[in-house]
Structure 1
Amino acid sequence: MTTLETSPSNFIRNIIDEDLRTGKHKSIQTRFPPEPNGYLHIGHAKSICLNFGIAEDYPNALCNLRFDDTNPLKEDADYVAAIEKDVLWLGFQWAGDVRYSSDYFEQLYNYAVELIENDKAYVCELNAEQTREYRGTLTSPGKDSPFRNRPISESLDLFARMRAGEFAEGSLMLRAKIDMASPNMKMRDPVIYRIRFAHHHQTGDKWCIYPMYDFTHCISDAIEGITHSLCTLEFEDHRPLYDWVLANISIACKPRQIEFSRLNLQYTLTSKRKLNALVTEKIVSGWDDPRMPTISGMRRRGYPAASLREFSKRIGVTKQENTVEFASLEACVRENLESNAPRAMAVIDPVKVIITNYDENQSEQLIAPAHPKDESMGTRTLPFSAQLYIDREDFKESANKHYKRLVLGKEVRLRNAYVIKAENVVKDDAGNITEIHCTYDPETLGKNPSDGRKVKGVIHWVDATSNHAAEFRIYERLFLVANPGAAEDVHEVLNPKSLVIKQGFVEIGLAQAEAEKAYQFEREGYFCADSKESTADHLVFNRTVALRDSWAG
């Protein structure tokens, strides 16, 4: 985690520093306010790191986790649980108990009554089409609802009866009385309550009227004592309404809303609606599909939480919209895994090697480091016998001098083992190589052979008699273009090779590989056992990221 001394400065921190210096605030309180209507994605990770990071860095600062649960038709308790898990996995802890906007429904209702009493809100009977017509356009002002000046007592009565369930959905709504000629469409008498007969995951069937987000959010912030309400730039037009509500109700706390640019990441969609379409159309297997930009998908793919925190730190916080290269995220993942992922060997496209001068009735246990630069990770045992598997791409019958792998008549070193020489091959009727027959030099065990022989190539391998079969899921970017959101039809820009499944083998020690724990499969990439489908009887490994950026150039 960062500290105040090492955290990069940004305009939000500058505002906070000034507020503390002038005594406007004695301590800082932020909040992360997701709507429980979907899974969190990489853009939310940026917001989580910002809000919780500020709370970690400033003395006595706190950050709440509050679900803005005002639309029961789209919300679900499963989303609540998933979001809590994501925040904890990223390494953050909220202050006190989890909060819900629904915790404040009674207070919100009372503040709405207060607005009516002060002639700042009224019950309107326009239908949806009429409401749009009366609102006007960006270039023409709206016009007053015929119900705008109904008596206060009548609005109070109707609002109470709305709560009692006496009216049908869509027949009445409560609107703030602001300015139908405002150039800001959000200020043209916005709806602040609507009738909705829907079961709520927290309040059950207690309510049949629900407050709108813009009315709820600012009051919830104020009730919780939030000092700085941080949100993305699309809420900039909402800020006048945020301030108007707080200025017109009897609440002491007046949080300040500050907007920052959202994260736009190449080759990625972050629209919940579009992500949901990928799920419902079964383009992906679910919200946690490792190709999805959701936090749960990235966790399942093997991205370390620390790499997402580092990525959020590097991209910074500004008011300027920009698009971040996907390679920047992958670079953070690689840097973390290079230091922290133990090594192992896996053969993803196997072909058998027979060592003809090795006793076929014997085997030995070779010792290899778990990490070449971190002795604290210990060692691992590699069974070695007369039958091995190597990757099919690591052998050619003939090749030029630039090919530094196994070639007929030439030598190559097996990683952490011996030098072998390819003598001949066995092929099937279709001409495919089924076996490579080799000899080995028993004096060449280890990295520095005693005879001083220089062998150009080093390849990985797995013993053929002592291993585990495994399924390898090779993930690439889901889209072929940097900005898939601009495509008329996202189906046309899907990467047909975003998932390639191969069958191979892993070394014996990976039988109980921990789900989502990263390994570097030497010369292949970083992989982790799948958290949903990998079992001891059917190992499934997801490729987290390649060893280098294969999309570069």
Structure 2
Amino acid sequence: MNEEKSLNFLEEIIEEDIRNGKNDGRVLTRFPPEPNGYLHIGHAKSICLNFGLAQRYQGKTNLRFDDTNPVTEDVEYVDSIKHDIKWLGFQWEEELYTSDYFDTLYQFAIQLIKKELAYVDDSTPEEIAVSKGTPTEPGKATSYRSRSIEENLRLFEEMKEGKHPDGSKVLRAKIDLANPNMHMRDPLLYRIKHAHHHRTGDKWCIYPMYDFAHGQSDSIEKITHSVCTLEFIPHRTLYDWLIENIGIFPSKQYEFARLNMTYTVMSKRRLLQLVNEKYVEGWDDPRMPTISGLRRRGYTPASIRNFCERIGVAKRENVIDVGLLEFCIREDLNKTAWRRMAVLDPVKLIISNYPEGKEEILHGENNPEVEGGEGERAIPFSRELWIEREDFMENAPKKFFRLGPGLSVRLKNAYIVTCDDFVKDDAGNITEIYCSYIPNSKSGEDTSGLKVKGTIHWVSVPHAKRAEVRLYDRLFKLENPLATEGDFKESINPESLQILDNVYIEPDLANAVPGKGYQFIRKGYFTLDTRSTTEHLVFNRTVGLRDTWAKESQKEASV
């Protein structure tokens, strides 16, 4: 009997709340992305968690864009975020924006000023930092902390009306300059930014800080469980203080460990560096850990959701091996990807005793992992074939079960052939391989009685389609790109992309569509690139058939 899956700590909290009738048993979560970049695999974990919790407890999830910094935000990012969430298989209850609440947040600030819990400070950022003290020394009040309610209301109104330049004034909460939590030492609530906002235009030139927008937006929406990552633990006290002193719905913040993954950087700032400095071709470069990059590389929504489920929800930071993500996509594609033949490094094989001009149609299963094979596809066969250069050796060792002088092999879904001869060019490269075939050895109809240990793939020369194949690998060569001194970009893997522009594929692949996974037999899992055209077919390798990195790491460890 299968044991019931144990609850994570957030599920335990929610179930306790439901039992106690808290929030009338209602569960409402939110996913609050900043529209200042593309979402990455770490955000996918948060998406799966927030939407997954709501689904499990018959609740709902709001999508709320934290658009409080107009300088870094763009509608392009808003659109990409919505597309990524839908692609992962989730649908939000309401599409909301923190900017929806700017008028309300402004009134909340007025309330705090009237309660003598907020004041306008003219100090420079450097002076404010000094005034906060250190973790071991209390802060000291600036001369502006004693301003009257009337003066603070007038100055804050002037800030709103655009009468003061950027950086000249801020609104600060008046809490406790000796608080052991540095976030409680008169934190900033509003700053001046004369910048055009993608939704509110030029209506506002003051914008709330994250800490003043986060909890209040949660409260306005009556969010029951506001889930953040661990770095927001020090912010929770301020989250609660603001809600209590403004006197609004008591949303609660809970923290979980963010996703850290080997051979990867998760910082949007660093990912933006890679894009802007042309280390990658864009946010959706298949080497990027962005959801759009993973999608373009051929990752499926199911594989990412499975990955997020496997890594679970923890209270302590840890690092997940990227090999687990690769295992999840391998596992998914093994069950769903159609099998096709593609020759990445071609050399010509000529079947000398196969009649010239003769062609026949053979058949192969689309997916042998599924009962019934998901049907068959037609595979044209002819006298001249492309095979992989590595499948022939002039001086083959004893256990080489492919082609060489006098060696026999089965052609996948076709006949047994024996190598009779080969031709080299002046540089010593093999240019043509000559074989003879056994007519009564066709797959499924073999009456030859011959047994061969090897099977190789092939593509018929007159029927083959030409394609470009991009072999993507991990973007960084170090497990932790940030662990070494210097620029993290110095650890970029120079072999993270290899382009093969002379690849031959079976003709059925000309009908491939982006998002559909294919197993190139013996070569790995591939998908058609989103920027491919009918005139120039481009396939991206999603992942190899086996974890070659693990093998290489074991070798290095044993040296």
1:363 aligns with 2:362: no
> Which segments of 5 or more consecutive residues in structure 2 lack a partner in the other structure?
555-559
In the TM superposition, residue 172 of structure 1 has moved relative to its aligned partner by 1.0
Equivalences for 1:93-112 in 2 at 5 Å?
A: 93-96=91-94, 98-112=95-109
Q: Distance in 2 between matches of 1:289 and 1:271?
A: 16
Name the structure 1 match of 2:369.
373
State the AA in 2 paired with 1:311.
F
Equivalences for 1:118-137 in 2 at 5 Å?
A: 118-137=115-134
Name the structure 2 match of 1:277.
273
Name the structure 2 match of 1:479.
476
Q: Distance in 1 between matches of 2:170 and 2:458?
A: 69
Q: Distance in 2 between matches of 1:452 and 1:21?
A: 70
Scaled by the length of structure 2, the TM-score of the pair is: 0.96
Task: For residues 281-314 of structure 1, give each alpha carbon's deviation from its aligned partner in whole angstroms, at most 9, with x where no partner exists.
Answer: 1111111100000000000000011011001001
Name the structure 2 match of 1:257.
253
State the AA in 1 paired with 2:208.
P
1:492 aligns with 2:490: yes
Task: For residues 200-223 of structure 1, give each alpha carbon's deviation from its aligned partner in whole angstroms, at most 9, with x where no partner exists.
Answer: 111111100000011001000011
In the TM superposition, residue 481 of structure 1 has moved relative to its aligned partner by 1.0
Using the aligned pairs only, state the percent identity.
56
Could you tell me whether the CA contact under 8 Å between 2:334 and 2:369 is conserved in 1? no
Task: For residues 119-172 of structure 1, give each alpha carbon's deviation from its aligned partner in whole angstroms, at most 9, with x where no partner exists.
Answer: 110111101121111111122111112111100011001111111111111111
State the AA in 1 paired with 2:323.
A
Corresponding residue SS for 1:323: coil
Q: Distance in 1 between matches of 2:5 and 2:499?
A: 41
Residue range with higher mean Cα deviation, 132-141 or 157-166: 132-141
Q: Distance in 1 between matches of 2:442 and 2:242?
A: 76
Q: Distance in 1 between matches of 2:533 and 2:294?
A: 20
Name the structure 2 match of 1:343.
339
Q: Distance in 1 between matches of 2:183 and 2:414?
A: 70
Residue range with higher mean Cα deviation, 318-327 or 368-377: 368-377
In the TM superposition, residue 116 of structure 1 has moved relative to its aligned partner by 0.4
In the TM superposition, residue 438 of structure 1 has moved relative to its aligned partner by 0.9
1:27 aligns with 2:26: yes
Corresponding residue SS for 1:495: coil
* 1:89 aligned to which of 87, 90, 93: 87
* 2:224 aligned to which of 218, 222, 227: 227
Task: For residues 262-290 of structure 1, give each alpha carbon's deviation from its aligned partner in whole angstroms, at most 9, with x where no partner exists.
Answer: 11100000011111111111111111100
State the AA in 1 paired with 2:75.
A
State the AA in 2 paired with 1:83.
I
In the TM superposition, residue 448 of structure 1 has moved relative to its aligned partner by 6.2
State the AA in 2 paired with 1:341.
A
Could you tell me whether the CA contact under 8 Å between 1:468 and 1:508 is conserved in 2? yes
Q: Distance in 1 between matches of 2:179 and 2:447?
A: 85
Task: For residues 55-109 of structure 1, give each alpha carbon's deviation from its aligned partner in whole angstroms, at most 9, with x where no partner exists.
Answer: 11112x000110000000011110000000110000000003x110000000000
Task: For residues 3-45 of structure 1, give each alpha carbon's deviation from its aligned partner in whole angstroms, at most 9, with x where no partner exists.
Answer: xx97652001000000001111311000000001111111100
Corresponding residue SS for 2:146: coil
Could you tell me whether the CA contact under 8 Å between 1:8 and 1:313 is conserved in 2? no
Equivalences for 1:506-545 in 2 at 5 Å?
A: 506-532=505-531, 534-545=532-543
Change (3 A) 1:485 1:521: same
Could you tell me whether the CA contact under 8 Å between 1:101 and 1:220 is conserved in 2? yes
Change (3 A) 1:325 1:36: same
Could you tell me whether the CA contact under 8 Å between 1:264 and 1:323 is conserved in 2? yes
Task: For residues 227-284 of structure 1, give each alpha carbon's deviation from its aligned partner in whole angstroms, at most 9, with x where no partner exists.
Answer: 0000100111111111111011031x11110000011100000011111111111111
1:36 aligns with 2:32: no
* 1:327 aligned to which of 323, 331, 335: 323
Q: Distance in 1 between matches of 2:398 and 2:423?
A: 24
State the AA in 2 paired with 1:215.
F
Corresponding residue SS for 1:148: helix
Task: For residues 367-411 of structure 1, give each alpha carbon's deviation from its aligned partner in whole angstroms, at most 9, with x where no partner exists.
Answer: 111111322621111110011001111111121222111111110
Q: Distance in 1 between matches of 2:323 and 2:243?
A: 43
State the AA in 1 paired with 2:260.
N
1:385 aligns with 2:382: yes
Aligned residues: 545
Q: Distance in 2 between matches of 1:431 and 1:293?
A: 42
In the TM superposition, residue 453 of structure 1 has moved relative to its aligned partner by 1.4
In the TM superposition, residue 447 of structure 1 has moved relative to its aligned partner by 4.7
1:188 aligns with 2:185: yes
Q: Distance in 1 between matches of 2:118 and 2:348?
A: 78
Corresponding residue SS for 1:425: strand
State the AA in 2 paired with 1:545.
V
Equivalences for 1:136-155 in 2 at 5 Å?
A: 136-155=133-152
Q: Distance in 2 between matches of 1:491 and 1:440?
A: 53
In the TM superposition, structure 1's runs of 4+ consecutive aligned residues that sit over 6 Å from their partners are: none
1:469 aligns with 2:466: yes
Corresponding residue SS for 1:153: helix
State the AA in 2 paired with 1:43.
G
Q: Distance in 2 between matches of 1:209 and 1:458?
A: 69
Corresponding residue SS for 2:50: helix
* 1:170 aligned to which of 167, 173, 176: 167
State the AA in 1 paired with 2:113.
I
Q: Distance in 1 between matches of 2:516 and 2:54?
A: 29
Q: Distance in 1 between matches of 2:355 and 2:268?
A: 60
State the AA in 1 paired with 2:272.
N
In the TM superposition, residue 451 of structure 1 has moved relative to its aligned partner by 2.2
Name the structure 2 match of 1:504.
503
Could you tell me whether the CA contact under 8 Å between 2:87 and 2:301 is conserved in 1? yes
Equivalences for 1:58-97 in 2 at 5 Å?
A: 58-59=57-58, 61-96=59-94
Q: Distance in 2 between matches of 1:355 and 1:132?
A: 79
Q: Distance in 2 between matches of 1:282 and 1:408?
A: 48
Q: Distance in 1 between matches of 2:105 and 2:498?
A: 51
Q: Distance in 1 between matches of 2:174 and 2:187?
A: 8
Could you tell me whether the CA contact under 8 Å between 2:438 and 2:448 is conserved in 1? no
Q: Distance in 1 between matches of 2:488 and 2:348?
A: 42
> Which segments of 5 or more consecutive residues in structure 1 lack a partner in the other structure?
none
Could you tell me whether the CA contact under 8 Å between 2:365 and 2:373 is conserved in 1? no
Q: Distance in 1 between matches of 2:156 and 2:290?
A: 40
1:437 aligns with 2:434: yes
CA RMSD of aligned residues (A): 1.2
Q: Distance in 2 between matches of 1:77 and 1:130?
A: 35
Q: Distance in 2 between matches of 1:132 and 1:256?
A: 29
Corresponding residue SS for 1:242: helix
